[in-house]
Amino acid sequence: MTEVKDESRAAVIAGAACYTLWGMLPLWMYALKHAGVGPMEITAQRAVWAVIWAALLVVVARKLPELRQVVRNPKTMGLLLLSALLIGANWLIYVIAVNSGRTLEASLGYYINPLMNMAAGALFFRERIDRFGFVAIGLAAVGVAVQTVAVGHPPLLSIGLALTFCAYGLIRKLVAADAQTGLFVEAAVLTLPALVYVIWLQNEGLGHFGQDGSTTLLLLVAGPLTVAPLALFAWAARRMPLVWLGFLQFIAPTLQFLVGVWSGEAFTALKAVAFAFIWIGAGVFAFGAWRRTRRAAVAA
């Protein structure tokens, strides 16, 4: 019993660490922006260095047999090609948001994402949405509408982040590949065009790798910053109830929000109202998930 409790505690710590790393990622991007590195170069460097660390993760996790099976399956490879394009688009949108001083919009997207996942689950997998789910989705929709008024246009970056990550999750749900193997294949798909772009930048004298020690180090850590959170997530997800992960996933956008405010982004009263609706919706979502788990445990 003690061992089970210790493992559950370790899983919570790993899950919290995963979402904390994702939430603090804007600080790394701010540092690269200060060094003059643009969104396309950051995204390309991330893909290039991520594949090395993803390969290491596959070897350490002893997933080479699974990798061989995936590579030999055209359907699985086709789905992973699509998921690679989606996660690459998500990375790029996120970097553009942070580099353009719109981290608050990025955090809004990741608050919306779990609610969008719930709606997608009902639409594509006939998963049931209870009254708490409908209320949460409705509150999020109101929040997005208020944010549209606050910024004078639809929050396209927020919606783009939520849509690409939601679609990515749907595709990965269909793929017969574990997290480590899938990430390696996705990174490998993105690496070739990313590497071509990085080499072109370097040859034109526009690249920042090797420019100075600190910038080069920041680009090198793109690999572990991409792969480490996923490894922590994969380990934690197998050892804790999904509802716990549902609570923990709000750590990332909350930290992103705080980083955006800390960096001096405008946070008007109308934006506060928009986020209030989103936060209440997230709270209703979390409470509904907890209630379902509680009732299932009592029934069992």
pLDDT tens digits, 177-199: 887 888 899 989 999 999 999 99
> Taking the model in full, what pTM does it have?
0.85
| DSSP-assigned states of every residue in 54-88 | HHHHHHHTT-HHHHHHHHT-HHHHHHHHHHHHHHH
Binning pLDDT at 50, 70 and 90, where does residue 125 land?
confident
Query: Among the listed ranges 80-84, 260-264, 289-293, which one has the minimum average pLDDT value?
Result: 289-293
Nearest to 148 by CA among 271, 5, 23, 19: 271
Nearest to 143 by CA among 257, 16, 248, 287: 257
Question: Taking residues 227-252, what's their average pLDDT?
Answer: 74
Q: Contact at 8 Å (CB) between 117 and 156?
A: no
**Domain limits of the chain?**
2-299
Burial (CB count within 10 angstroms: exposed 0-12, middle 13-18, buried 19+), residue 300: exposed
Asked if the model's pLDDT at residue 163 lies above 80, the reply is yes
Taking each helix axis as running N to C, give the angle between helix 269-299 and helix 131-151, from 0 to 180 degrees, rounded to the nearest 10: 170
Asked if the model's pLDDT at residue 35 lies above 80, the reply is yes
Task: Report the percent of the chain where pLDDT is more than 70.
Answer: 91
Asked if the model's pLDDT at residue 92 lies above 90, the reply is yes
Rounded Cα gap, residues 267 and 93, in angstroms: 21
Asked if the model's pLDDT at residue 97 lies above 90, the reply is yes
Nearest to 110 by CA among 226, 289, 300, 248: 248
